[in-house]
Structures are given as structure tokens and as C-alpha cells.
Amino acid sequence: MKFDLQMDFGSGFSLSPKDSLEEEALYDVLVAGSGPAGLNAALYARRKGLRVAILAKKKGGQLLDTSVVENYLGIQGLSGEQLAGQFLEHVRSLEVPLVEDAEITSVVPGNSFHLVTTATGKTFRTRTLVVATGSKPRTLDIPGEAAYAGKGVAYCAICDAPLFRDKDVFVAGGGNSAVEAALDLAKVARSVTLVHRSRFRADQILVDRLLAHPKVDVHLQTRILEILGERAMTGLLVQDLGTGEPRVLAGDGIFIEIGHIPLAGPFAEHVDTNVHGEILVNAKNETSIPGIFAAGDVTQVPYKQIVIAAGEGAKAALAASEYIQLLPPDQGTLGETDSQAPQFNLSL
Amino acid sequence: MNKMFTPELEEQLRQVFEGLVDDVTIALFTDGEACYSCPETVGYMREVAALSDKIHLKEYDLQRDAATAAGFKVDLAPSIVLLDAKGDYQGVKFNGIPAGHEINSFIPALLEVSGQASEVPEDLAARVDAIDKPVNIKVFVTLSCPHCPGAVQKAHKLALMNPHVEAEMVEAQTFQELSSKFNVSGVPKIVINDTYELVGNQPIQAFLDEMERI
């Protein structure tokens, strides 16, 4: 067991004095979300001299659930958390306030500004919004999944892998996150079986590493029909799609890594979305409502990758900046920077 | 033994500890024999206590100081309870070393027990105040779990707000017997009065929904 301290300045205690937003203020760019898209949007917007703030549910976004990032240009290998830490540090160096555990519950689009209300009942005004709220893990939606959630069924490999020491575990999925989870689990588990209904979508470099691992078994073209168990999970009922034969595989746990569903939240009531619930944006990240932009995994832009989300965030901020410049003069002035007394916010 | 804190981290923590309002005591219970992570926890707590005059460390032995341990309902080692300036136990406990990500629940707990207040919406505060039966909240964690400190912080916050509530972090790998008793295979796992279970970093409302069923 590793004891290395993973200090996260800002989760509940903060060294930054500016981590609160003013209800009286008019922000230029309010960013919803603090994953790569949201943070890069904040960075770009702040560098344009705009008054920017970030409302985040989980600081760092899904990067925190990623064990290793090896495909971000210039970063040969960092944990998702370290990379998130570097992103945050960069944004913080420009004194952008970031409020954590701030869930946006309602949005009222307007002509000169939009209103955003959080779960704590605070309402903020902003000329533009960048929606970068990301996504959450997709579930298999099969019998047994909900019943054995936390009793074998898991969605966060870095969190729960230590609990499967010397156990037999499955990973559902065939993309990068599934293969990475399987490789992570293989460090502690007795055996790891990857089950996927079609072919690998993961990068070949990862697939090669997986197939070479002595503890790992792979079942492709295999559908998971049910998660079996009594008090806790005991195995899977699967079907070989080639032969059609169902069979039972025994195991103690399954990590479900089959992609994500967008978290458009209250924004979906206003902006256009596609059948998957993803917010539709154009090449400038504009949504169907003027002044509301979106970026990253919450949009229909294909390939949910850190580098892509970050790039989309930059585009959204530049488009928002352009939009603000074109507003009538009385609405288009740039904001002042925040100056607030230190405040300690325990997240609830 | 290696130090837990780097010089940079020490400096940052010194600044954070300037926010301590009153004195706070770390009561640390270890057990001489076969106590996984006890030596590391002792070293770690000594380092923490050295960073502020307001932080005091008292080291106890689970066997020798059995009466003290019983007073704080401590039966595991290592176990840490935080005491306020009057030396009173407010229901804030950590079973297992609060290292890894759990430093993010441990530091705020020190600040809060010292009297640093944080805002709670009025409707929630009223619900917490209304709890009038004994409540024990266990939050099972792993040290590699980024979502876990949030759940621990909320449980401790509830304990500080209401004297009927006791909240304890349980490091799942250190206390495997307890973890398997509660079938912990996903963290954070929240167990209320050893009966009601929640999985994940739930909002404080979800804690209250379960607590109100008691």
C-alpha cells in the first residue's frame, strides 16, 4: 500500500483567496466544468483580459479517474491527477476563481446576459457561458448491475483496484480506458478477464501490452447478459456472439469501462442536443443559443480525448471573446479582476 | 523512516494551519504488535503536529490505555480521534492512516475541529439539528481514491454539527475484516449504524435521507 500524500489544495481547503464568486458581478465568461475543456477555456478567456470564473462539480473532471496519460503531446507519461494538477496550477496562476461542488441547477438565457443558479441557491450573471460539463460513465443496463454496484460492480479502477487484491476480476469494454483499467488491475488481481462485445477500439500500443500480460485473458465478440451473485457478485452470464452459446464466467468483480454519457444537465433544456444527449456545436463551439458555447465531452464532437477537449475549450473561449467584442458597447466592456478576502469553503 | 512531507508541502501546510482558530489535539492510538501502518502513522502525525503550535499530539496504546480508547470508542489501530480545545471528542475519527488522498479529509478536519466554521445551507442545517438518535457513520476509503475525501469530509461535518453523530473514516485495506463484513468492494462506501448503505461520494442530502430512517 502506498502512503504518498496526494495533496489537493482546493478540495475543501484552499490557499487561493479568490475561490468565491460575486452575485452582484457581471462575468464575461462563466465556465461550467473544470476538466481539460473547461480549464483551457478559462485560460484562454482570462488571457484575453476577460472576467472569468469556473463553476465545477469535480475539480479536474474525469482526468482524476485516469491512471496514466501517455497521449497528450509533450507529456510522455503522467497520472491523470498530476496532469489535472498542472492544468489547475496554470489556470490558477492567472487568478481565475474556481468554485468546487457547485452544481448548476438552472440556466436562464438572456439577450445581454445569462443567469446561472447553483444547487446552493446562488445566482450569477454572465455575458457568455462555456458549457464544459463533460460526461459520466455509461452503465451496461443489464440485470444485476445495479444490485451489485459496490458489491463487485465498479466504475473507478484507480479507486477500487486495491480492494480486488488476489481476486478474479472482469473489465467490460474495448476502448483505451478499458484496456488501461485491465492493465492497472493486473498489478493487484489474481486474474483479469476483458470482455467486449466487438473488437478492440483501444490504441494498438495498449492492446499489445494487454495481450502480452500473463494475468490477462481476453474475450472479444462476447456480450455480457447478466451480473450474477448472491450477497455479492459471483460471476457473469455471457454470450459468445460467434456461436450464440451462453455461459457463466466466475469472478469477484467487474469494472465497467464502456464509455460515457454526456452531462448536459439544465443546459439541455435550452440548447439543441442530438439523440445521444450531446450538445450540438458548430466549428466555433457555438450552441443554438447566442452567447452560450460548449466544449469537450458534453458536445457531439467525436473522439473523447483530453487533447481534443482542451483544444475545443480554447476554441470556445476565443469564440466567446469574439462574441463579447461584438456586443453593443455598454454591454461589451471588459470586467475588472476580482479582489476578495480569503475565504474557506468546505464543500458540501 | 522517510518523511511524509516535502519542504514545499510543509510550507503550504504551515500557511493552511494559520487558519486554525483554537487548539486541536490529535489523539493517536497504536497497538504494539502487528499493527499495519502504525509506525508510518506515528511519524506522519508527529510531522503534522510540528507544523503548528495549535496542534497537539497525544500518543496512546490501545492495550495500555484501554479506558481512554473505550471513552472514544476506539477499537482499531491505528486510529485517530480529534479533540477540540476543551479536550472533547466531537465524533471525528480516522481508522487507518489518513495518507494518500485522505490528507484532503484530514487537514480540513483539523481546521473544523479547531473551530473554523463553514457555511451550510439553512434547510440542511435544520435537518441535521433535528437528528436526535445516536448515529454512527463509517466511510470506507482507499488511499488511491480521489472521490473519497469528499465523502469523509461530509460525514465529519455532520458529526461536528450534531453531538448525536459520530463519523469515522475506515481505510478498507488496513481493516480487511471490517471491510469484508460490510462487503466493501467499491469506495467510498458509507455505512450508517452498520445497517444503511450508500456507495459513492453522495451529497449531504443523501446522508440525511438515510439518517432520518433510523
What is the predicted pLDDT for the residue at A283?
Answer: 97
The residue among A231 and A237 whose pLDDT is bigger is: A237
Q: Is B194 left (phi over 0), alpha (psi -120 to 50) or beta?
A: left
Q: What is the mean pLDDT of residues A115-126?
A: 92
Asked if A240 is an active-site residue, the reply is no
What is the predicted pLDDT for the residue at A340?
Answer: 35
- B85 CB within 8 Å of a chain A CB: no
Residues A182, A161: Cα–Cα separation, whole Å: 10
The DSSP letter of residue A170 is: E
Q: Which residues of A touch B157 (CB under 8 A)?
A: 346, 348
Find out whether A36 and A309 touch, Cβ atoms under 8 Å. yes
Most confident of A286-300, B104-118, B121-135, B188-202: A286-300
What is the predicted pLDDT for the residue at A328?
Answer: 81
C-alpha grid cell for residue B57?
Answer: 499530539
Q: Do domains B7-113 and B122-211 have the same CATH topology?
A: yes
- B78 CB within 8 Å of a chain A CB: no
CATH fold for the domain made of B7-113 = Glutaredoxin (3.40.30)
Q: Indicate if the pLDDT at residue B99 is higher than 80.
A: yes
Q: Is A189 left (phi over 0), alpha (psi -120 to 50) or beta?
A: beta
Strand, helix or coil for residue A135: strand
The residue type found at B130 is A
Q: Indicate if the pLDDT at residue A334 is higher than 60.
A: no
Summarize chain B as % helix, strand, coil (round to 5).
Answer: 35, 20, 40
- Count Cα neighbours of B12 within 13 Å in the Cβ-side half-sphere: 14
- Band (B114; pLDDT cuts 50, 70, 90): very high
Residues A232, B138: Cα–Cα separation, whole Å: 20
Q: Which of B5, B103, B142 sits opposite A159 (nearest CB)?
A: B142
Q: How far is A53 from chain B (nearest CA, A)?
A: 20
Q: What is the mean pLDDT of residues B32-38?
A: 85
What domains lie within chain A, and their CATH numbers? Answer: 26-137+260-332 (3.50.50.60), 153-256 (3.50.50.60)
Q: B150-183 pLDDT, tens per residue? A: 899 999 999 999 999 999 999 999 999 999 999 8
Find out whether A91 and A60 touch, Cβ atoms under 8 Å. no
The DSSP letter of residue A304 is: -
What is the predicted pLDDT for the residue at A336?
Answer: 40
A27 Cβ contact list (under 8 Å, min separation 6): A21, A51, A52, A53, A124, A125, A126, A127, A335
Residues in chain A: 348
What is the predicted pLDDT for the residue at A332?
Answer: 44
How many helices (H) and strands (E) chain A has is answered by 7, 19
Q: How far is CA A306 from the centre of its chain?
A: 9
C-alpha grid cell for residue A281?
Answer: 456545436
Where does B122-211 sit in CATH, by number?
Answer: 3.40.30.10
- Band (A330; pLDDT cuts 50, 70, 90): low
Q: Indicate if the pLDDT at residue A338 is higher than 90.
A: no
A275 Cβ contact list (under 8 Å, min separation 6): none
What is the predicted pLDDT for the residue at A337?
Answer: 37
The ranges assigned to domains in chain B are 7-113, 122-211
Find out whether A196 and A222 touch, Cβ atoms under 8 Å. yes
Q: At what angle do helices A204-211 and A176-185 cross, to 10 degrees?
A: 30
Closest chain B residue by Cα to residue A150: B186
Active-site annotation holder among A19, A65, A101, A160: A160
What is the predicted pLDDT for the residue at A335?
Answer: 43
Q: A307-317 pLDDT, tens per residue? A: 999 999 999 99
Q: Indicate if the pLDDT at residue A15 is higher than 90.
A: no
Asked if A160 is an active-site residue, the reply is yes
What is the predicted pLDDT for the residue at A9?
Answer: 53
The residue type found at B33 is E
Q: A128-160 pLDDT, tens per residue? A: 999 999 999 899 999 999 999 888 999 989 899
Q: What is the mean pLDDT of residues B92-96?
A: 98
Torsion of CA B180, B183, B186, B190, to 10 degrees: -100
Torsion sign over Cα A48, A50, A53, A56:
negative
What is the predicted pLDDT for the residue at B10?
Answer: 93
Residues A243, A175: Cα–Cα separation, whole Å: 24
Q: What is the mean pLDDT of residues B27-50?
A: 93
Q: Which of residues 95-134 of B touch A (CB under 8 A)?
A: 97, 99-101, 103-105, 107-108, 111-112, 116, 118-121, 124
Q: CB count, 10 Å around CB of A136? A: 14
The average confidence (pLDDT) of chain A is 89
- B16 CB within 8 Å of a chain A CB: yes
Q: CB count, 10 Å around CB of A250? A: 10
Q: Indicate if the pLDDT at residue B210 is higher than 50.
A: yes
Closest chain A residue by Cα to residue B197: A150
Q: A136 forms bridges with which residues in the sheet?
A: A261
Peptide bond into A143 cis (omega under 30): no
Q: Which residues of A touch B45 (CB under 8 A)?
A: none
- Band (A68; pLDDT cuts 50, 70, 90): confident
The residue among A249 and A66 whose pLDDT is bigger is: A249
Asked if A217 is an active-site residue, the reply is no
Q: Indicate if the pLDDT at residue A341 is higher than 60.
A: no
Find out whether A44 and A130 touch, Cβ atoms under 8 Å. no
Q: How far is CA A129 from CA A24, A339, B24, in A?
A: 17, 22, 43
Residues A239, A248: Cα–Cα separation, whole Å: 9
What is the predicted pLDDT for the residue at B175?
Answer: 96
Q: What is the mean pLDDT of residues A194-208?
A: 96
- Band (A278; pLDDT cuts 50, 70, 90): very high
- Band (A58; pLDDT cuts 50, 70, 90): confident
- 8 Å CB contact of A348 and B189: no
What is the predicted pLDDT for the residue at A343?
Answer: 33
B15 Cβ contact list (under 8 Å, min separation 6): A15
Q: A90-100 pLDDT, tens per residue? A: 998 999 999 88
Q: Which is nearest to A96 in space by CA: A146, A150, A31, A189? A: A31
Strand, helix or coil for residue A41: helix
Q: What ipTM does the predicted assembly reach? A: 0.83
